[in-house]
Amino acid sequence: MRRIAILAEGLFGWHYGKTATGVIRYSQDTTVAVIDSTQAGQDVAHALQRPIGEGIPIVQDITEALTYQPDTLLIGIAPRGGALPASWRWQILNAIEHGLNIVSGLHVFLGDDEELRAAAQKHNVSIWDVRRAPEKTRVAEFVPHREGSHTILLVGSDCSSGKMSTALDLNVEAQRRGHRSAFVATGQTGMMIANNGLPVDSLINDFAAGLMEEQVLQFTNSNDWVFVEGQGALNHPGYSPVTLSLLHGSVPDALIFCHKAGQTTIEGYPQCPLPTLNRLIEINEEAVSWLKPERKCRVVGISLITNHLDEQAAREAITQVEQETGLPVTDGFRFGIGPLLDALENHFK
């Protein structure tokens, strides 16, 4: 059990700070403070305007965070490109000098930084670069999953559409109902929470599906329900390859689709409009069918992000998507994840 201070300078929030909010919400480790000078003096729940992280202070810098006696500094953002903001270096060095281990999900590996590595060695602390890929290679072999196991992959219309949180919530609900289930992490935040998984977006393309297949087979051998965290989106102009590697590496039996209510374009690509939800569902189902034409894998429910809407507008958005797709829809955070697990249980009867 770690005592974590999360560094999220200037970016703590639901979107750009999704690593921070994910760890606070789901990790069994204790978050003692969040570092963001632009919101210092609040607590996490106030900053997020949700009942998450009540009593966890947002502080000015690492110096103030140290008064809460953390043993780990976790980098709480995953910026596009994955680089380390230069203005953060002094805070990481300060943490190392005070004996804190470092956890980072950046694409740039802090353990390869000569100054940071030397400081870590001097102070006998570890640097865990979560996105560092395993050295092994494996091409997918299309090995059947254990009979009786159910693999569910989370897909979506864009990045940051709720795939990780929905998978985690479904796993908790499945276990509550008595199912032998597991969550398979495929990204840096999920790995920080679960202490397992693969950083799929850092794997060599030829081996991503194969390494994912190996991972899923390990989980299906010992669990009846396996929820695989999704990444990217099949329609994303930059990150579609990672989604396809998950679709073909996990060879799911069912899909849950994730979407932000009202979104019409890919974030950061205003020239890239989203197809209709029914078309997005169709292309994901079709990509699985290329490998499993005899046993159709389909989307059985939709997880909708509505945290930018008031409650009435959120319920109206859910009703509209239900009518558009004919599928059960919920915002698991606001209204509970139960309808989606109900749909999965009915699908696998």
Q: Assess whether pLDDT exceeds 80 at residue 295.
A: no
* Structure confidence at residue 80 as a pLDDT band (50, 70, 90): low
Instruction: Work out the widest C-alpha separation in the chain, in whole angstroms.
Output: 61
Q: Measure the CA–CA gap between 37 and 46, rounded to whole angstroms.
A: 15
Token pair 């953060």: residue: 88
Residue 245 bridge partners (DSSP): none
DSSP class of residue 43?
Answer: B
Same-domain status, 109 and 214 = no
pLDDT, tens digit, 9 for 90 and up, residues 12-64: 998 788 899 999 999 999 999 999 999 999 999 999 988 899 999 999 999 99
Pair (154, 109) in one structural domain? no
The model's confidence at residue 65, banded by pLDDT at 50, 70 and 90, is very high
Residue 197 domain flag: yes
**Is residue 176 domain-shared with residue 317, that is, in the same domain?**
yes
State both tokens at 153: 């992959």
Q: Clarify whether residues 164 and 294 are in a common domain.
A: yes
Each residue's pLDDT tens digit, 113-172: 999 999 999 999 999 999 999 999 999 999 999 999 999 999 999 999 999 999 999 999
Residues 12 and 92 in one domain: yes
Whether 189 and 104 share a structural domain? no
- Work out the pLDDT band at 290, boundaries 50, 70, 90: very high
CATH of the domain at 341: 3.40.50.300
Domain CATH number, residue 83? 3.40.50.720
Assigned domain for 136 exists:
no
Residue 138 counted as domain residue: no
Last residue of a domain, which of 129, 162, 192?
A: 129
| pLDDT for position 348 | 96
Question: How do residues 242-264 score in pLDDT, each as one tens digit?
Answer: 999 999 999 999 999 999 999 99
Q: Is residue 241 part of a domain?
A: yes
151 phi/psi in degrees, rounded to 5: -105, 125
In this prediction, residue 79 has a pLDDT band, given cuts at 50, 70 and 90, of low
* Measured distance CA(246)–CA(75) in Å, rounded: 25
Q: How many structural domains does the chain have?
A: 2
275 and 200, same structural domain? yes
Query: Do 237 and 274 sit in the same domain of this protein?
Result: yes
SS3 of 280-310: HHHHHHHHHHCCCCCCCCEEEEEEEECCCCC
> Do 95 and 185 belong to one domain?
no
Residue 141 lies in a domain: no
Do 187 and 336 fall into the same domain?
A: yes
- Backbone phi, psi, residue 225, to 5°: -125, 130
Q: State whether 330 and 212 are in the same domain.
A: yes
Position 145 in a domain: no
In a domain, 17, yes or no: yes
- Look at residue 51 and give its three-state secondary structure: coil
Domain span at 80: 3-129
Mark whether 294 and 186 lie in a shared domain: yes
Residue 332 placed within a domain: yes
Q: What share of the chain is helix, strand, coil (3-state, %, to 5)?
A: 40, 20, 40
Q: Which of 172, 169, 168, 167 is nearest to 156 (CA)?
A: 167
Q: At which residue do the structure tokens 């569910």 appear?
A: 152
Q: What is the mean pLDDT of the chain?
A: 95
